[in-house]
Structures are given as structure tokens and as C-alpha cells.
Structure 1
Amino acid sequence: MPEALYYKEEHQRLYLKGSGHITAILCADLRELVFSRFEQGNPIEAFYVDLSECDYMDSTFMGLLVGFNKRMLKLMKKRITIVRPSTTAKDLMEGLGLTSLVDMVDEPIPFPEDMVNINQTKSASVDLLLHSHENLMELSEENKKKFAALHSVLKSQNDQEGK
């Protein structure tokens, strides 16, 4: 199954569907799209993420989900909802402590038919990788240890790019 992310906003609800292997490759465009929507200031009633067809997701994507959830809580006082996660997706989220942060439902939620495929147009920046992993590191001491070396390298690269 090819890596793909589909997105649509309808009736003040955001819909995101992941298919196949979801990795950092698709995260730059997704981050820009969703955070620009948050910045509009218009209410968001719900944010649904369907992971029923997700074979794998990397830590960058999971960190981005944490970031989306933090922003939803801050702006709308609501958590994102993970819809019918595959066994693999659920195991990966449990392993990093995400399942306690988000709402999870096993029953299907109707998603729009005409969702837009988020094609990769940007590469994942050091800033994106750094912030995604910082989101994960905030969740537990275990995650801090797990991502410490990567964080150190990314922070150094980010600091050098900022000069």
C-alpha cells in the first residue's frame, strides 16, 4: 500500500486519513496545512484522524499528531480523535504514550468522499523533525531517553541553520 495522507475540512471538522507507511516525507506539507488552519481562528468542532489503513507511522508523524492535539486543546479545548487505528498504529502510539492524550474510537466515522491527497512538495525540515520529536519527548522519561541522541543532532543542526 503506498504512503498517502488525505485531508479535507468540512462543516468545521478536519479530516485526515493515513494510508500505508506514514513518514516524515509527507509531514512538512501536512504541518503547514493544518497549522495555517489553526491560525485562521475559526472554530474547529472536531479533528478526526483515520488510521485504519496505516501499516506504519514514524516518530515524526506521531510527534506531529501530538502537536495537533496540543493546539486543539489550547484553542478549542478538545482533543483530536483517532478513528479505528490499525493494530500496528495503535501499538506504535501506545509505545510512545500517545493513546492517553487523544480520543480513540473503534466505530467508523463518515469521512468526506472527495478528500485531497497531500502530495510531497517540501522535504521535512530540521525544524519539523526537531519539534515533532520534542513533542514526543514531553510525554515520558522513556521517550526523552529514546530520542536524546537524535534531539541533540537536530538541535545542533537547527542552531547552525539559524545563524
Structure 2
Amino acid sequence: MNTGKIQFAEQCGTFVLKFVGEIRLTLCSALDATIERIFAALNFSAIIIDLTETQSIDSTTLGLLAKLSILSRQKVGLLPTVVTTHPDITRLLQSMGFDQVFNIVDRPIPCPESLSELPSQDQSEEVVKEKVLEAHRILMGLNESNRDAFHDLVSALERQ
């Protein structure tokens, strides 16, 4: 299994998140903390999510990315950009309705040299469950297909 990592950089008002390998639930606490950090700054001109080296990405991560886009539009009126060069990842993003909440670009763009890996964060099972719930509720709000796909999962988590 190729473990994944998320790298982050800020350069000249552009925040870059680069996802490498298999991006799973274990990285979501670090991603969510970084999203909070981005919106605490509020002094940026662009947000770029680089998925050119992503092999797979789970639904919780996708939900947090949707949260990033929604916050970006609400707080600064900015539509983030997702860069993907893999047809499977592009299809997944489109099926989730990401073409409505992101600019999706299919050509690599230069990344800053100063990317650093997000540190892992230990979270309690309860905190992780709340992040999973939040992420899937956000995905459900994007379109009817997502609502159908994640309804049972959200209901089960809410009952726990």
C-alpha cells in the first residue's frame, strides 16, 4: 500500500495543497486544521489543490475539500482550483459535483519549491467520527447522487 501525504505551501498569496499517493481518513485531521489556518489568514488570492500525484482519495477527504471551496466562496468570493491529470480522479471529482464548486484544470501547473508535509495529528475516535460526518454531510449537499450515495453512512454514524 502506498501511504499518502499532503504537502502545503503559501507563496505570494497563493495557498497550495498537494496530495501524493493514497489519501485516506488518517490525513483528514491535518487537512481540516490546515483549512482552518487558511481561513484564519484571509490574505490570499488563490487556492490550488494539486491532485496530479494522487492515486486515490477517499470520500471524507473529498468532503473536506468541498468544505474548503464553500468557505472560500463565502469568506472571500474565490473559487479554488483543482489540478488533476488522471482520468479516474477527474471522473470521481465530476461525479461528486466538484465541477460546480471548483475550477478543474487538467494540465499540471508549477508548484512552489517550499512545499512541506502536513504533520499528522492524533485525534480521538469521537473527533474523527465528527469530521467524517461533517465531510459526508457537505458532500450530500452538493447533489442528489451524493445524497443517495451517503445517506445510509450518515444515518449510521448519527445513530452511534
Contact kept in structure 2, 1:84 and 1:105, CA below 8 Å:
yes
Gaps of 5+ in 1: 158-163
Contact kept in structure 2, 1:93 and 1:99, CA below 8 Å:
yes
For residues 38-57 of structure 1, the aligned pairs below 5 Å read: 38-40=39-41, 42-57=42-57
Superposed CA RMSD:
1.6
Give how far 1:108 is off: 2.7
What corresponds to 1:145 in structure 2?
A: 148
Does residue 1:28 correspond to 2:37, yes or no? Answer: no
Give how far 1:99 is off: 2.0
Contact kept in structure 1, 2:96 and 2:146, CA below 8 Å:
yes
121 and 128 in structure 1: CA distance in 2 versus 1, 3 angstrom threshold: same
Contact kept in structure 2, 1:3 and 1:19, CA below 8 Å:
yes
For residues 113-128 of structure 1, the aligned pairs below 5 Å read: 113-123=113-123, 125-128=128-131
Contact kept in structure 1, 2:3 and 2:23, CA below 8 Å:
no
Cα distance in 1 between the residues matched to 2:26 and 2:132 = 11
Secondary structure of the corresponding residue to residue 125 of structure 1 = helix
- Larger mean CA deviation between 31-40 and 43-52 belongs to 31-40
Q: Runs (4+) of structure 1 moved beyond 3 Å?
A: none
Name the amino acid aligned to 1:145. D
**Residue deviations 1:74-133, cap 9 Å, x none?**
111111101134222111112211122210122332211121112322246111101100
Identity value in percent: 27
Does residue 1:135 correspond to 2:134, yes or no? Answer: no
Cα distance in 1 between the residues matched to 2:28 and 2:53 = 17
Cα distance in 2 between the residues matched to 1:119 and 1:86 = 26
Cα distance in 1 between the residues matched to 2:32 and 2:96 = 20
Give how far 1:39 is off: 2.5
TM-score normalized with structure 2 length = 0.90
Secondary structure of the corresponding residue to residue 16 of structure 1 = strand
Contact kept in structure 2, 1:55 and 1:88, CA below 8 Å:
no
Cα distance in 1 between the residues matched to 2:146 and 2:107 = 30
Secondary structure of the corresponding residue to residue 121 of structure 2 = coil
Give how far 1:149 is off: 1.2
Name the amino acid aligned to 1:122. D
TM-score normalized with structure 1 length = 0.88
**How many residue pairs end up in the alignment?**
156
Contact kept in structure 2, 1:43 and 1:76, CA below 8 Å:
no
Secondary structure of the corresponding residue to residue 8 of structure 1 = strand
Contact kept in structure 2, 1:54 and 1:85, CA below 8 Å:
no
